[in-house]
């Protein structure tokens, strides 16, 4: 029997998955209550540790809910370890769990020994203000933590451990408006001009920066690209995988993208095709024929792309951006150089609708209204009036001599009344 990364889930000597969990103590006999199974609710054997964990979580929640566990002196820490964390881990992708695990552990430790039912609105507000004022965390990370806390309490409500989510009486922490840096065409030209492609590794750096800038693919999508994803005859690039990578030898090429609409085909320009064709030949001379972005035969880590982008930005003395900034750069390039239509950009990026594209990139279209302003000049035809047509009844905040009147007699009358009024004071 061997342990898996999921608590209470194991594999036997034949590699079959099963769970063996404790459900507490029998209130009459005092003996431990255990549950073990190799099959799900449909009687099917588990195909993965994740499936076994998901079923174990369901069994645990169902049993404890039916047996009145909600009335026990359950602490927040126990609730997180026994219920929420296993549930969350079984509900999200491995990389999502890996990136959020530390955050949820921090949330758990904040209220670890406090009874779940004793957490009140003051505790919630104290946690909220602590995140914002004392931790030194960014507003976005604070928003993530407080949002996770609210999510955990909502799950406690769903399992009937709580009657209501008390944290909803406090305000959520809004995410700060993030502005992702990007390169203009001129900055991009400066960067690629500083890369020495006669060096094998630097040649890959050049291809990586060029590919991301000219296609707008997400970082993980670009890392997962195989050479058979490129159709040199039809000038197309098929994007249908993402790369999940823990280490150089521990990675997974997942057969889907961030969203369903992310699976797409992108048209490639002749320059990009020529660069890829040349790089493919160079790679083959080094015995590499699978991943496009590779210099060892194995995929590169997303942090490597990030370092490449920042390294050459500093060398070229241009704006230092993140790796994902190349996706924004691609959008800027399409809009400012070719006045690209939002629908075309949306499909190229793999968004589900143009509204999503505008939500993230509307500010990039703002520079594209100069030709429109030029056309507007002189388009409106009119002549200034030579007299007033307005009868103004007066306003105590405006001096009467500054206000025009259609009838000069009315104007003189008003001025006279104003003068008499001042003299009688």
The per-residue pLDDT for 410 is: 56
The DSSP 8-state label assigned to residue 250 in this structure reads: S
- Pairwise CA distance, residues 289 & 32, whole Å: 56
Q: Residue 88: is its pLDDT beyond 70?
A: yes
- Pairwise CA distance, residues 46 & 94, whole Å: 18
Name the CATH topology of 185-371. hpI Integrase; Chain A (1.10.443)
What's the pLDDT tens digit per position in 251-291?
A: 889 888 888 878 999 999 999 999 999 999 999 999 999 99
Q: Residue 367: is its pLDDT beyond 70?
A: no
The per-residue pLDDT for 313 is: 96
What is the domain partition of the chain in residue ranges? 2-169, 185-371, 385-425
What's the pLDDT tens digit per position in 25-71?
A: 665 455 777 888 999 888 899 999 999 999 988 888 777 666 655 45
- Pairwise CA distance, residues 420 & 10, whole Å: 99
Token pair 């505790």: residue: 123
- Pairwise CA distance, residues 145 & 165, whole Å: 16
Query: By CB neighbour count within 10 A (0-12 exposed, 13-18 middle, 19+ buried), where does 178 fall?
Result: exposed
The enclosing H or E element of 359 equals helix 354-361
Query: By CB neighbour count within 10 A (0-12 exposed, 13-18 middle, 19+ buried), where does 19 fall?
Result: buried
SS3 state at 144? helix
Q: What percent of the chain has pLDDT over 90?
A: 54
Helix-strand-coil split of the chain, %, nearest 5: 55, 10, 35
Across the chain, mean pLDDT equals 86
Q: Which of 243, 218, 231 is nearest to 325 (CA)?
A: 218
The DSSP 8-state label assigned to residue 128 in this structure reads: H
The region of weakest confidence among 188-192, 223-227, 333-337 is 333-337
- Reported for 103-108, long-range contacts at CB under 8 A and 24+ positions apart, including other chains, are 103/141, 103/144, 103/145, 103/148, 104/80, 104/148, 104/152, 106/145, 107/80, 107/145, 107/148, 107/149, 107/152, 108/76, 108/77, 108/80, 108/81
Q: Which of 223, 241, 244 is nearest to 92 (CA)?
A: 244
The region of weakest confidence among 115-119, 179-183, 217-221, 366-370 is 366-370
SS3 state at 215? helix
**Are the C-beta atoms of residues 186 and 334 closer than 8 Å to each other?**
no
In 234-311, beta strands by DSSP E: 236-239, 242-245, 251-254, 264-267
Q: Furthest-apart CA pair in the chain: how many Å?
A: 109
**Are the C-beta atoms of residues 243 and 255 closer than 8 Å to each other?**
no
Q: Report which of residues 256 and 1 the model is more confident about.
A: 256
The DSSP 8-state label assigned to residue 353 in this structure reads: S
The pTM of the full predicted model, rounded to 2 decimals, is 0.65
The DSSP 8-state label assigned to residue 31 in this structure reads: P
Tell me the angle at which helices 200-215 and 270-285 cross, rounded to the nearest 10 degrees. Answer: 150
> Which tokens go with 348?
């190229």
What's the pLDDT tens digit per position in 118-142?
A: 999 999 999 999 999 999 999 999 9
Token pair 């982008």: residue: 309
The per-residue pLDDT for 353 is: 87
The region of weakest confidence among 69-83, 222-236, 336-350 is 69-83
The region of weakest confidence among 169-178, 239-248, 260-269, 408-417 is 408-417
Mean pLDDT score, 343-352: 90
pLDDT band, very low/low/confident/very high, at 407 (cuts 50, 70, 90): low
**Are the C-beta atoms of residues 225 and 305 closer than 8 Å to each other?**
no
What's the pLDDT tens digit per position in 143-179?
A: 999 999 999 999 999 887 888 999 999 999 998 776 7
Q: What percent of the chain has pLDDT over 70?
A: 86
Tell me the angle at which helices 121-133 and 139-158 cross, rounded to the nearest 10 degrees. Answer: 160
């Amino acid at each position: 029997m061997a342990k898996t990364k999921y608590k209470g889930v194991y594999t036997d000597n034949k590699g079959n998955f099963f769970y063996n969990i404790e459900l507490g103590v029998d209130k009459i006999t005092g003996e431990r209550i255990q549950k073990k199974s190799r099959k799900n609710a449909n009687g099917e054997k588990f195909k993965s540790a994740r499936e076994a964990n998901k079923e174990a979580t369901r069994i645990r929640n169902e049993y404890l809910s039916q047996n009145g566990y909600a009335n026990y002196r359950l602490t927040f820490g126990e609730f997180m370890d026994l219920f929420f964390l296993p549930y969350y881990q079984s509900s999200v992708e491995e990389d999502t769990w890996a990136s959020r695990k530390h955050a949820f552990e921090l949330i758990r430790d904040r209220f670890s020994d406090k009874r779940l039912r004793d957490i009140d609105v003051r505790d919630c507000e104290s946690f909220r203000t602590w995140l914002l004022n004392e931790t030194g965390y960014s507003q976005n990370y604070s928003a993530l933590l407080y949002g996770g806390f609210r999510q955990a309490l909502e799950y406690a409500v769903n399992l009937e451990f709580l009657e209501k989510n008390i944290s909803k009486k406090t305000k959520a922490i809004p995410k700060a408006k993030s502005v992702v840096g990007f390169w203009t065409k001129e900055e991009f030209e400066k960067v690629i001009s500083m890369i020495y492609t006669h060096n094998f590794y630097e040649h890959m750096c050049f291809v990586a920066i060029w590919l991301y800038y000219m296609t707008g693919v997400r970082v993980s999508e670009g890392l997962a690209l195989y050479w058979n994803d490129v159709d040199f005859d039809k000038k197309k690039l098929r994007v249908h995988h993402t790369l999940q990578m823990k280490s150089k030898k521990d990675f997974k090429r997942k057969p889907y993208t961030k969203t369903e609409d992310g699976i797409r085909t992108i048209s490639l320009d002749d320059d990009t095709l020529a660069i890829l064709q040349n790089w493919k030949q160079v790679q083959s001379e080094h015995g590499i024929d699978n991943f496009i972005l590779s210099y060892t035969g194995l995929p590169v880590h997303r942090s490597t792309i990030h370092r490449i982008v920042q390294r050459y930005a500093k060398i070229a003395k241009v704006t230092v951006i993140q790796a994902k900034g190349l996706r924004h750069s691609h959008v800027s390039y399409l809009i400012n150089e070719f006045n690209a239509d939002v629908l075309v950009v949306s499909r190229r990026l793999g968004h589900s609708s143009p509204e999503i594209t505008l939500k993230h990139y509307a500010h990039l279209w703002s520079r594209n209204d100069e030709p429109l302003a030029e056309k507007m000049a002189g388009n409106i035809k009119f002549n200034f009036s030579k007299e007033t047509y307005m009868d103004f009844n007066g306003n105590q905040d405006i001096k009467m001599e500054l206000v025009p009147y259609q009838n000069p007699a009315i104007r003189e009358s008003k001025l006279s009344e104003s003068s008499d009024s001042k003299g009688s004071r």
